Structure 1
Amino acid sequence: MTYTMPVPLPSALVDHHAVDLERKYTDGWGLKVEDVAAAPSGDIYALYSVHRFTRGVAGDEADPAKAHFGYSLVTRYAPDGTVLATAVSGQSEHYLRQDTTLGGPTTGLGRDLWWAKGLCVLPDGTLAATGPGDHTHLITADLTAVTAHHGMPRSRHENGPRDPFATWISTTPAGRLLCTTGEYGLYNYGNLLNNIVAITDRPLTPTSKPTLQALASMEAEPVKHTEADLRPDVLFNGMPVGMDHRPRPSLTEYLTGLQQTARRWDWHDARLGRPAVVREDLFVVPIFGHINRGGSRGQRFAFVLVSDKGEFVGQLGGMHLHRDSPFTGFCFAIAADPARERIYHLNRYGLFAWTATGVRAQRLDLEEARFKLLKHFTLVDCTPTGELVLVHRTQHLMLRVPCPASLGDLGQVVEDALRSYAKERTALKKRWQPVNWHWVDSTAPLHRL
């Protein structure tokens, strides 16, 4: 079994837009992996985006070889790493000209799936692609069709249908959905920002959207709320979340009270990350402070343990605000392995592992020569079989790292995986012949959503 997999660009897209793969991203184009999700069957799905926006080219340019473009893609892999299929969602209204050759707004996706940032395999095998505005698209497991869409305007001043679901979704071992949803008015912003951590006991299907039960809020008092801002699909104590009704104390209130050296403004303009499932009744919720333009290393951050009853159980310990700061490179992702009740985090300074109690069990220092390559990877997922999935940010390759039986062996396992990565990367280069680390695929089926 291979543990290294390429993130491919469909040859049809490259040819249609005459993409210059040698061109630098600073010239106005780019490819970025947003998320990865693994199914219990062993299949793996990658969500990524590709765009081109070049100065001097009009937004209504008719020639696809010159026109701006933006797509979201989802690729499905077999357990052995074989690319099975890729789906492409058409151009966003962010680009003035709408080219529907490779999918487009006529499919009903419009710009919404272009903004997709999260991917989750639901218990029935359906994919949920999620993003800002609590947009949720349901996609069949074979990537051939979109079966449902939920969403709402990103700004409270925009018009449009208001049928949201969630910005992030993760599944529990029993099949419940752990989600985050947004609210208007956080810190007096007009945009919809993540504020509520919630869970649902009923499945999300193309014909049924379950009610979410709020467990925690990041900020207790969004401003200027009216009855129009109530969320009837998100309940707390049986009543819709909104106005002055949401779980309290909020995460920021809890952290301010817990950290006696913290000041009230340390958590002002904080942001809520994607929660991870530690076990059926325990979740870890990332929260990080304001991002400064001049650099944010040393700012407050926390990974809070929350029960499925909304109780604050504690925090992940053993991280230094400055020495282990996730603000360098904005590495806020957390991954959890419910089968073994472990939690993982990777940033530019170390790979960390904790037990379910929040006790740090391991820290691999990325300054060590044998782990230094990890600085180029992003942690995106932990599979049901206990493999960490890492994505190389510039080589557009995914690496699966088997989790050891004992966390004391994590260092050796990671060292072996990085050594295998170098060998498998060489073999892939001979077979795929990438151009500037861009892997072009012409064999797997391409579905236009």
Structure 2
Amino acid sequence: MTLLPITVPASLLDTHHLDPDAADWGLRVDHAVATTAGDTYVLTGLRRYRGHDDEAADPAERDFGYQLITRYGSDGKPTATAVFGQAVPGGGPSAIPEAEGTTLALLPDGAVAVSSKPGSTHLLSPELDAVLASWPMPWGWERQRGPGEDPFAASIAVTPAGRLLCATSEYGLSNWAGAHLNIVAVSEPGAALGPGRKPVLRAIATLDARTDGQSDADWYAHVRYGEEPVVRGNRPSPSLTEALSELTGTSGSLYGYLDSRMTRPAALGDDLFVVPVFGKTYRSSNRGQEFSFALVDDRGALHGRLGGLHLRDDSPFTGFDFTVVADPYRARAFHLNRYGLYAWSADGVLRARMSTAEKPFKPLVHFALLECTPAGELLLAHRKQHLLLRVPVPQDLDDLATAVEDALKGYGRERTALKKQYGPVNWLWSDGAATVNAL
């Protein structure tokens, strides 16, 4: 099955009397991952906003915001959905709060890791029916730990050897308030994450080294550089900001890497990673601003960046599409933005570019690239039609353009078949067969 409907439980829609024809709801697709057996987990957010939330009114009519994880079998049919983020009417409080920047990872033991900014991680059973463990890091503007704060990571990617490639946040950076993604760190092979087990993460890269504002409370025992926790000057050096500024000759430039941000790192293998870094964003147009998909090894050495991109013609700032996904089993990386789909080999050489200005690839502007599966398939989500397209990547990246063109041509045919099966209204795909678990 190359096309999956991104479904919502019919029981949840009935509970809230949600009208698909109304304009007060929205569904976003955040991430997806797949098992080696072909099962797929899709993370979505479902929200309704009417501008009021009267506590005296019928709970079914109130505004709501849920996050959902749906598991699909290899045949494409949904089998289970976990609902969290807030209490379902008539149920107990959710064990997992709604959070920004949530992503998924499948751990070697089959557990589903749900990580979100600034550093919370929750483990779910493979069947999505239980929360196995939680390490929370609530949002807060104060540089101090809140009650029960015990973070792990803001994002996790798993390498073929079972190493956990993580991004973690820090307080006290420059003059910024709150916590920001700033550390890239890895675990050792076989270091399991589970109930009562939190592996040490070894820092390999720092985005920003301006840490004069950090205090003794701004460190976590599991994130270390050398034998000590990462805090103040105990961190990898030079920072990515400094290294990329030198590499690109933009040191001191207003449009360089000062005050840059990073997004989720991707694993090209067990010891080579891609870290997307983008320069400061402004209220005016940012097209042409500096960005780099940095290549960093597990010792923290910068091996250049994914090449062949033009700052303006290939800018991810249009639409703010900074996601890079990687296939660590075949050592290649991929990126999709409003200007094209790109593929690289592990040495950073651009091997394929499919421009959205060309007729066969124009539909790509409607898709977001979510992940690469262990089988070497790209997972693309249609932003409006809520469908997940699997694109098989050929062994030779020179043949990728043909594979993408074929997948886009088949999209309409498979969509028609799914519409006959599900009868969606306003691209809301309702399913009543999957088991629903309120977590």
Length-normalised TM-score, structure 1: 0.94
Matched, 1:382 2:372: yes
Matched, 1:178 2:165: yes
Structure 2: which amino acid aligns with 1:41? A
C-alpha displacement of 1:410 = 0.8
Structure 2: which amino acid aligns with 1:148? A
Structure 2: which amino acid aligns with 1:436? N
Residues 440 and 307 of structure 1: is their aligned pair in 2 closer, same or farther, counting only changes over 3 Å? Answer: same
Check conservation: 1:89, 1:104, Cα contact below 8 A. Answer: no
Structure 2: which amino acid aligns with 1:246? R
C-alpha displacement of 1:61 = 4.7
Q: 2:210 aligns with which of 216, 221, 234?
A: 221
Partner of 1:231: 220
Provide the rounded CA distance (Å) in 2 between the counterparts of 1:370 and 1:307. Answer: 36
Structure 2 unaligned blocks of 5 or more: none
- Where in structure 2 are the equivalents of 1:138-217 lying within 5 Å? 138-157=123-142, 159-201=146-188, 202-217=191-206
Deviations 1:288-343 (A, max 9, x none): 11122222111111000011111111111100001100011111011111222111
Provide the rounded CA distance (Å) in 2 between the counterparts of 1:398 and 1:59. Answer: 36
Matched, 1:350 2:340: yes
Residues 126 and 239 of structure 1: is their aligned pair in 2 closer, same or farther, counting only changes over 3 Å? Answer: same
Check conservation: 1:184, 1:190, Cα contact below 8 A. Answer: yes
Check conservation: 1:188, 1:222, Cα contact below 8 A. Answer: no
RMSD over aligned Cα, in angstroms?
1.5
Structure 2: which amino acid aligns with 1:33? V
Percent of counterpart pairs with the same letter?
Answer: 47
Q: 2:103 aligns with which of 88, 93, 118?
A: 118
Residues 306 and 190 of structure 1: is their aligned pair in 2 closer, same or farther, counting only changes over 3 Å? Answer: same
- Where in structure 2 are the equivalents of 1:16-35 lying within 5 Å? 16-24=15-23, 27=24, 29-35=25-31
Residues 414 and 99 of structure 1: is their aligned pair in 2 closer, same or farther, counting only changes over 3 Å? Answer: closer
Partner of 1:95: none
Check conservation: 1:12, 1:442, Cα contact below 8 A. Answer: yes
Q: 1:277 aligns with which of 267, 287, 291?
A: 267
Structure 1: which amino acid aligns with 2:405? E
Check conservation: 2:88, 2:438, Cα contact below 8 A. Answer: no
Residue 306 of structure 1 aligns to a residue whose secondary structure is strand
C-alpha displacement of 1:20 = 1.6
C-alpha displacement of 1:237 = 1.1
- Where in structure 2 are the equivalents of 1:300-379 lying within 5 Å? 300-379=290-369
Number of aligned pairs? 434
Residues 35 and 61 of structure 1: is their aligned pair in 2 closer, same or farther, counting only changes over 3 Å? Answer: farther
Partner of 1:39: 35
Length-normalised TM-score, structure 2: 0.96
Deviations 1:141-181 (A, max 9, x none): 00000011102232252732221000010000000100000
C-alpha displacement of 1:264 = 4.5
Structure 1: which amino acid aligns with 2:138? P
C-alpha displacement of 1:406 = 1.0
Residue 412 of structure 2 aligns to a residue whose secondary structure is helix
Partner of 1:88: 83
Q: 1:295 aligns with which of 281, 285, 289?
A: 285
Provide the rounded CA distance (Å) in 2 between the counterparts of 1:61 and 1:289. Answer: 47
**Worse-superposed segment, 220-229 or 367-376:** 220-229
Matched, 1:137 2:122: yes
Structure 1: which amino acid aligns with 2:175? N
Check conservation: 1:37, 1:120, Cα contact below 8 A. Answer: yes
